[in-house]
Amino acid sequence: MAQTLLQVEDLHTQFFTSRGVVRAVDGVSLHIDVGETLGVVGESGCGKTITALSILRLVPDPGKIVSGRILFRGNDVVKMDDDEIRDFRGNDVAMIFQDPMTSLNPVTRIGSQIEEAMTAHKRFTPEQAKSRVIELLTRVRVPSAETRAKDYPHQFSGGMRQRAMIAMGLANEPSLLIADEPTTALDVTVQAQIIQLMKQLNRELGTAMMLITHNMALVASLCQRVVVMYAGRVVEEGPVEQIFKSPQHPYTWSLLRSVPRVDEARKDRLVSIKGLPPDLSNPPPGCKFHPRCPFVIDRCRVEEPPLGEVGPDQVARCWVLMRNVSEGDVATAKQSSISVAAAENLKAPVADIGTKSGS
Amino acid sequence: MMQAPEKAPLTTVAADPIILRVQDVYKHFPIAGFGGLAVRAVDGVDLEIRRGEALGLVGESGCGKSTLARLITALLPVTRGKIIFEGQEITKMRGGRLRRMRRKMQMIFQDPFASLDPRMTVGDIIQEPLDNYGIGSGKARQRRVQELLRLVGLNPNFTNRYPHEFSGGQRQRIGIARALAVNPSFIVCDEAVSALDVSIQAQIINLLQDLQREFNLTYLFIAHDLAVVRHLSDRIAVMYLGKIVETAGRNDIYDHPQHPYTRALLSSIPVPDPVVERTRAPILLKGEIPSPVNPPSGCRFHTRCPIARVPGICSEQEPPLEPHGQRDQLAACHFAGEK
């Protein structure tokens, strides 16, 4: 049995706004084993970033962790005092963000920033920290690390900045690295370099990784297990191969079929999920996905399904499950079309106008 | 060098099968205070877009694809070269003629939050192009706005609402309705779905495909997401540092890429399938795109190319864009097709 590194249990994080209480994270449970890569996927506003920020106790105002436990090697992060949480953030966990430019200090040299990350947490002596900077930058494959350490962030390109951010994240040898959309702002060839780097680091250093993203392909490439979130809840979880081969929640199924694949010729229309994600200050009753679900049944509207086991290590929160949906219903779900009547109405008058003004 | 269309015109009345020709077009942005230095954003581009097709234009940031789009829609003047739209040279047009020509080419932008005036109602936003071109009477315009809203899947009674009341996907629909208002034949979509969440992105992609079929539109579809481009386009052009390096049919370019940059670009994109991903090894390019102020000599890609002969022909001679590989495929590489 793998050893559990982080265990989140029934986490509720809410934002207390003038418009009411927003339940951003609404009873999330998940775990990460030592050395494992976990993908957390979902669309904007599903609560994936707030879950990560809750783990670091960095939820911005007016948000608050309302209940639940976050156990890191058995210690509850929610109950830590200020010194303990500082130590936890510095030495056990690190987080890298989407936009490396806004997370680096523009007036401090790259090398000094990485050094500061080490000396601030007193894990290394100033001398050790100095020599580690070059080592870290070399490890994340920044060429001519010794000279580049003296550069300022604006002298680095986007990909190089993200490497520097990763170097800083790894500075104190954390056992968990949380990466929030680490490659979204990068060009594809640079994205491939960073993905490769993260794979290598996970292998070489055994750092567990929590990858937060909306990009299913990135999860397929980097992760061993995946958690799918919708409206502040986990709706499906399981090993990556299993989830991609046989997703059971209609939301997971739709997410996988709403993106075209670069390695396949165009076959089907893309599955588009109708409507919009719910307002989390006033979520729908029953299953949170039911207003958008193409396979909804009456029970979904009144009663929320629990996370039930649907396969080996795979759980899903659904009354229907994709394996019970008929092929006909799947085909219907793929159809969505513009209003042909409206198109006809539009064509007629414009033809007149076209001849009037000439070309 | 342009390839002559291989199909002879079907009938004498048939319109030119090529709706847009870009011939040896340059756009250099001078850098103030650096005597003579310039950002060579577009640096000698030849391109044809056929009537009714969707042409995908891909490349990484800074390759010049958005600048090219702005030259094609005459939003920027060219430094040199010709752009011919429906048989007329738009690079020479001014004033009223240009305005009338622009009616046929519309643009859909990336950021639906920045491209709609927050102080105008949705009805006014969509009606504005009709007003500008004096199309129809007041009543007819309002009717058309309602039809347009219905067409893009929005409630036709929303005309009095403001952009902030809509989500990103809905705003993009408003942008599409505005582009369609004056009945264009050619639409440039500049990263039109990149800012949207995946489920919403699929809605807009499906809508764009339906509209193309319904109104026989020609698209220039610019994006950095090659999977989306492959899904939406009939033909694809790959751009690198101000030049087109390869064009081909959407399946040929993926199945038989001829240019090493195309090959690297395609292999960089992860596939949503863990079983496939385990066996895939991306071709990792060295470094990043060089500066367009001072592009490398010879083939611009030679500094990052895995098969370049340097020193040698690749760093000395610029390869022309010429037929390689499949029918209708062009590549600019001295060693096209080699791995």
Q: What is the pLDDT of residues B234-291, one digit of tens each?
A: 999 999 999 999 999 999 999 999 999 999 999 988 888 999 988 888 888 887 788 8
- Helix/strand/coil for A23: strand
Instruction: Confirm or reject contact between A276 and chain B (CB < 8 A).
Output: yes
Q: How confident is the model at residue B14 (pLDDT cuts 50, 70, 90)?
A: low
Q: From the list B167, B207, B267, which residue is nearest A338 (CB)?
A: B207
Sheet holding A75-76, edge to edge: A20-33, A4-17, A63-72, A75-76
The predicted structure's pLDDT at residue A91: 87
CA distances from B178 to B124, B129, B223, B321 (A): 10, 7, 21, 37
Amino acid identity of residue A4, one-letter, is: T
Q: From the list B152, B199, B287, which residue is nearest A258 (CB)?
A: B199
Mean pLDDT of B158-167: 90
Residue A336 has pLDDT above 80, yes or no: no
The predicted structure's pLDDT at residue A270: 86
The predicted structure's pLDDT at residue A41: 95
pLDDT in tens, B196-239: 888 888 888 999 999 998 899 999 999 888 889 999 999 999 99
Q: Do B150 and A266 touch (CB under 8 A)?
A: no
Chain A contact set for B112 (CB, 8 A) = none
CA distances from A244 to A182, A216, A330, B227, B259 (A): 22, 9, 17, 18, 32
pTM of the full structure:
0.86
Burial of A4 (0-12, 13-18, 19+ CB in 10 A): middle
Measuring CA to CA, which residue among A12, A77, A27, A22 is closest to residue A304?
A: A27
Q: Do A189 and B251 touch (CB under 8 A)?
A: no
The predicted structure's pLDDT at residue B288: 74
Strand partners, B106: B187
What whole-number distance in Å separates Cα of residue A13 and Cα of residue A23?
A: 6
What is chain B's mean pLDDT, rounded? 89
Chain B contact set for A216 (CB, 8 A) = 198, 272
Question: Which of A36-45, A249-258, B31-40, B181-190 shows the lowest per-residue confidence on average (mean pLDDT)?
Answer: B31-40
Residue B7 has pLDDT above 50, yes or no: no
Nearest-CA distance A16 → chain B (Å):
22
Rg of chain B's alpha carbons, rounded to an integer?
21
Q: How confident is the model at residue A277 (pLDDT cuts 50, 70, 90)?
A: confident
Measuring CA to CA, which residue among A28, A13, A46, A48 is closest to residue A278?
A: A46
Q: What is the dihedral of CA A48, A54, A60, A62, to 10 degrees?
A: 100
Chain B contact set for A350 (CB, 8 A) = 144, 183
Q: Taking the alpha carbons of A24, B270, A318, A329 in that order, is the dihedral positive or negative?
A: positive
Mean pLDDT of A140-144: 84
Contact of A339 with B147, CB cutoff 8 Å: no
pLDDT in tens, A207-241: 999 999 988 999 999 999 999 999 999 999 999 99
Class of A4-223 per CATH? Answer: alpha beta
Q: Do B271 and A259 touch (CB under 8 A)?
A: no
What whole-number distance in Å separates Cα of residue A202 and Cα of residue B281?
A: 17
Domain positions in chain A are 4-223, 247-356
pLDDT in tens, A63-89: 999 999 999 999 999 999 999 999 898
The predicted structure's pLDDT at residue B61: 82
The predicted structure's pLDDT at residue A1: 57
Q: How confident is the model at residue B1 (pLDDT cuts 50, 70, 90)?
A: very low
For helices B260-268 and A188-205, the axis angle rounded to 10 degrees is: 50
Question: Which of A98-102, A106-110, B73-77, B309-313 shows the lowest per-residue confidence on average (mean pLDDT)?
Answer: A98-102
What whole-number distance in Å separates Cα of residue B74 and Cα of residue A252?
A: 43
Residue B134 has pLDDT above 80, yes or no: yes
The predicted structure's pLDDT at residue A358: 37
Question: Which of B1-10, B169-178, B224-233 shows the lowest per-residue confidence on average (mean pLDDT)?
Answer: B1-10
What is chain A's mean pLDDT, rounded? 88
Q: Nearest chain B residue to A336 by CA: give it.
A: B206
The predicted structure's pLDDT at residue B76: 92
Burial of B95 (0-12, 13-18, 19+ CB in 10 A): exposed
Q: From the list B215, B265, B277, which residue is nearest A189 (CB)?
A: B265
The predicted structure's pLDDT at residue B15: 66
Residue B26 has pLDDT above 60, yes or no: yes
Chain A contact set for B141 (CB, 8 A) = none
The predicted structure's pLDDT at residue B50: 95
Mean pLDDT of A47-69: 94
Chain B contact set for A44 (CB, 8 A) = 197
Backbone angles phi, psi at A158, to 5 degrees: -55, -45
What whole-number distance in Å separates Cα of residue A93 and Cα of residue A106?
A: 24
Instruction: Confirm or reject contact between A346 and chain B (CB < 8 A).
Output: yes
The predicted structure's pLDDT at residue A351: 44
The predicted structure's pLDDT at residue A51: 95
Q: Do A255 and B199 touch (CB under 8 A)?
A: yes
The predicted structure's pLDDT at residue B29: 92
Q: How confident is the model at residue A112 (pLDDT cuts 50, 70, 90)?
A: very high
Testing the interface with B: which of A46, A245, A272 to mutate, by most B Cβ within 10 A? A272
Q: Do B169 and A337 touch (CB under 8 A)?
A: no
Q: Nearest chain A residue to B207 by CA: give it.
A: A338
Question: Which of A50-64, A127-141, B117-131, B300-314 shows the lowest per-residue confidence on average (mean pLDDT)?
Answer: A127-141
Residues 23-62, chain A, touching B (beta carbon < 8 A)? 43-44
* Residues comprising chain A, all counted: 359
